[in-house]
Copies of this chain bind each other. A is one copy, B any other.
Amino acid sequence: MASPSAAERGRQVRRRLLSTAADLIPELGWMAVSTRVLADRAGVAPGLVHYHFASLQALLAEAALGRIRELLDGLGPLLEGAASPEELLETMTASLDGFSGRDPMSLLFVETYLAAARDEELRAAAGTIVDDFRRLLTRLLAEHGVAAPGETASVFMATVDGLMLHRALTPDLTAASLAPVLRRMF
């Protein structure tokens, strides 16, 4: 009765694999996610990985990009609501404190950058996502009257990701302590 169709169950398995992969990449590292571990963790027969996806790499790419897009899509509305450049900066630095550099989302970002540096297709796809976000941020900075909004957006995004990277080694790089310097950019 309530039992879903075979097709629906298939789609669920696919989703489960993607979601599990996105969890596993930060946990183990992109290259250490194996079909067996993935299938086990997803509670799914090992053969299904290659049934639903052309290869493990393709699955990982889709999983990573999907989750990154989700995050950035969620950030958009928050930034749109900012009333001033200061508020904009505060919103972004606040989100920064959620990234310790060793949390799943930070690691997923870096793993994906690194995988992208070695895979043309992934690089193009990740580039599109980042560009979309840059365009959004550029528009907002322009609306707030910030000079050179495109370059400012680029530098600011790089700074945020760079801080994420550095905080893994130097945990005391808090948003609060760095805010005065960050504010100079605008």
A151 → chain B, closest Cβ, in Å?
5
> Is the beta-carbon distance between B154 and A178 smaller than 8 angstroms?
yes
Taking a contact as CB atoms under 8 Å apart, the answer to whether A178 and B151 are in contact is: yes
- Give bound CA distance, A151 to B163, whole Å: 12
A127 to B127, CA, bound (A): 30
A39 sits at the interface (CB 8 A): no
* Residue of B whose beta carbon sits closest to that of A102: B117
Give Cα A148–Cα B182 distance, bound, in whole angstroms. 11
A131 interface residue (CB < 8 Å to B): yes
Residues of chain A at the chain B interface (Cβ within 8 Å): 29, 31-32, 101-102, 106-107, 110-111, 113-114, 116-118, 123, 126-127, 130-131, 134, 148, 151-152, 154-155, 157-163, 165-166, 168-170, 173, 177-178, 180-182, 184-185
B residues less than 8 Å from A116 (CB atoms):
168-169
A92 to chain B, nearest CB (A): 13
The one of B107, B148, B162 that contacts A165, using a Cβ cutoff of 8 Å: B162
In contact, B169 and A127 (Cβ under 8 angstroms) = yes
Distance of A32 Cα from B32 Cα, bound (Å)? 10
Is there contact, CB below 8 Å, between A168 and B113? yes
Q: Point out the residue from B117, B148, B152, B168 that lies within 8 Å of A107, measured CB to CB.
A: B117
Which 3 pairs from chain A and chain B are nearest by CB?
A162-B162, A158-B162, A31-B31
- Chain B nearest CB from A158 CB (Å) reads 3
Distance (Å) between the CB of A78 and the closest chain B CB?
Answer: 21
Contacts of A148 in B (CB 8 A): 180-181
